[in-house]
Amino acid sequence: MTVDRILPTDEAHDLLELATEIADRELAPKVVEFEERAEFPREVLRTLGRAGLLGLPYAEEHGGAAQPYEVYLQVLEILASRWLAVAEAVSVHTLSCYPVAAFGTDEQRKLLPDMIGGELLGAYCLSEPQGGSDAAALTTKAVRDGDAYVVSGTKAWITHARVADFYNIFCRTGGPGPRGISCLVADRATAGIHPQAAERTMGLRSSPVAQLVFDDARVPADRLIGGEGAGFTIAMSALDSGRLGIAACAVGLAQAALDYAVDYARQRQQFGRAIIDFQGLGFTLADLATQISAARALTLAAARLRDAGRPYSLEAAKAKLFATDVAMRVTTDAVQVLGGAGYVADHPVERYMREAKVLQIVEGTNQIQRLVISRALAKG
């Protein structure tokens, strides 16, 4: 199905056309092979970077495209509809560029052109083995020693852990609680940083997720972002944007599942007619289409608040919650529409369903999103 979009500029139309062309040429033909091999498509990310699609929301002076977030999210949606792991990689990488772009010094921002251009791939190291949702309780430590910080501890569930060129490390430089947390940006080659074996995940198998062990890794002090104690503020403001990225990925995945299910239901014959003509199934597809449109609208409404410089944290939580729950529902129902055929790997809907699950977990579980929203309601 063609999505009818309202875009702010002609340039935005061109960007979405470019994203669609690259997605059809570079992503769709490769996804099955790379997912089966659990191989990360590093060259695809370089292609996206050289096409200008990795730095869409960042300033032109740093190599970005200075595009509104609503445009960037719709590019993500298109990528996710062809290959979710790539779209999630773009979202994570964009998130990884945020601390330097938003809080870095002029000297630190000299790193941005290579980051945004895709030559350097980023990872965002916040979660730890003993806790992900309670980020303020993280235990990874960084102790100042002359012109460096010595980092020790373990991070968990880190996307790009084994393939990243730089790491945003959220670590404790002070006392307990959020005020003791700082952010360091470390190069992959830093001695004492040890990526562990990749996790064996349910979906997104071409996206390498692993623990990172820091064994007295020395990170230059000039890689401290925003000053000591600023890390928690950086992390939370970045996650607001990251949640919108995951919401857009969810919309794209759900759209792909719906499109496949509708096409199948038009062609599949039972009792002398296409199964889409049976109201029980046709009405199900109608509900799914409506939910996807609602998820897209909620996500873009939050993005437009961000673009206008208005508070959007609450709306980002709503968008992430709703869009990812919709993706889980749509992909599950898409398998049901195909019946037995939906349960085998000959059709992509079984992969879509496995992939949708992780979107309800990353960038803050959906229970955390409900907590954010309910607390806001309680405060009035």
Nearest one of 60, 22, 94 to 245, comparing CA atoms: 94
- Supply the pTM of this predicted model: 0.95
What percent of the chain lies above the pLDDT cut of 70?
A: 100
Residue 65 in this model has a pLDDT that exceeds 70 = yes
Identify whether 5 is part of a domain: no
Identify whether 4 is part of a domain: no
Dist CA 157 CA 199 (whole Å): 8
Task: Say yes or no: 337 and 277 in one domain.
Answer: yes
Task: Say yes or no: 340 and 255 in one domain.
Answer: yes
Longest dimension (CA), the chain: 79
Per-residue pLDDT tens over the stretch 117-143: 888 999 999 999 987 788 888 999 999
What percent of the chain lies above the pLDDT cut of 90?
A: 94
Task: Say yes or no: 222 and 242 in one domain.
Answer: no
Residues in the chain, overall count: 380
CA distances from 261 to 98, 141, 333, 340 (A): 37, 49, 9, 13
- DSSP helix/strand/coil, 131: strand
The pLDDT of 198-220, averaged and rounded, is 96
Task: Say yes or no: 90 and 139 in one domain.
Answer: no
Q: Which H or E run includes 370? A: helix 366-379
- Could you report how far apart the first and last alpha carbons of the chain are, in Å? 41
Residue 333 in this model has a pLDDT that exceeds 90 = yes
Task: Say yes or no: 187 and 202 in one domain.
Answer: yes
Structure tokens given for 371: 């907590």
Tell me the pairing of strands 166-172 and 122-125: parallel
Tell me the pairing of strands 148-159 and 209-220: antiparallel
In the chain, helix, strand, coil percent, each to 5?
A: 55, 15, 30
Q: What is the structure's pLDDT at 92?
A: 96
Q: What is the mean pLDDT of the chain?
A: 96
Q: What does R_g of the chain's alpha carbons equal in angstroms?
A: 21
Task: Say yes or no: 193 and 244 in one domain.
Answer: no
Tokens 């000959």 found at? 346
Per the CB < 8 A criterion, the answer to whether 231 and 282 are in contact is no
Task: Say yes or no: 369 and 240 in one domain.
Answer: yes
Structure tokens given for 190: 């830093």
Of 57-61, 284-288, 374-378, the range with the lowest mean pLDDT is 57-61
Structure tokens given for 214: 């820091």
Per the CB < 8 A criterion, the answer to whether 108 and 185 are in contact is yes
Residue 348 in this model has a pLDDT that exceeds 80 = yes
Task: Say yes or no: 52 and 148 in one domain.
Answer: no
Identify whether 161 is part of a domain: yes
What is the DSSP secondary-structure string of 148-204? Answer: EEEEEEEEEEEETTTT-SEEEEEEESSSSSGGGEEEEEEETT-TTEEE-PPP--SS-
Q: Which residues participate in catalysis according to the annotation?
A: 363
Identify whether 340 is part of a domain: yes
Of 201-205, 235-239, 244-248, 262-266, the range with the lowest mean pLDDT is 235-239
What is the DSSP secondary-structure string of 312-365? Answer: -HHHHHHHHHHHHHHHHHHHHHHHHHHGGGGGSTTSTHHHHHHHHHHHTTTTS-
Instruction: Specify the amino acid at residue 10.
Output: D
Identify whether 2 is part of a domain: no
Q: What is the structure's pLDDT at 296?
A: 98
CATH of the domain at 184: 2.40.110.10
Residue 49 in this model has a pLDDT that exceeds 80 = yes
The pLDDT of 16-38, averaged and rounded, is 97
Task: Say yes or no: 273 and 338 in one domain.
Answer: yes
Number of domains, the chain: 3
Nearest one of 94, 24, 27 to 65, comparing CA atoms: 94
Task: Say yes or no: 193 and 224 in one domain.
Answer: yes
The pLDDT of 179-205, averaged and rounded, is 96
Angle at 347 between CA 74 and CA 25, to 5 degrees: 45
The pLDDT of 158-178, averaged and rounded, is 95
Angle at 10 between CA 9 and CA 16, to 5 degrees: 95
Q: What is the structure's pLDDT at 45?
A: 94
Identify whether 79 is part of a domain: yes
CATH of the domain at 86: 1.10.540.10
Q: Which domain holds residue 108?
A: 10-117
Per-residue pLDDT tens over the stretch 244-298: 999 999 999 999 999 999 999 999 999 999 999 999 999 999 999 999 999 999 9
SS (H, E, C) 219-260: EEHHHEECCCCCHHHHHHHHHHHHHHHHHHHHHHHHHHHHHH
Residue 1 in this model has a pLDDT that exceeds 80 = no
Identify whether 282 is part of a domain: yes
Identify whether 3 is part of a domain: no
Dist CA 193 CA 158 (whole Å): 13
For residue 372, give every residue at least 6 positions away whose Cβ sits within 8 Å of its Cβ, in sequence order, or none: 313, 314, 317, 364
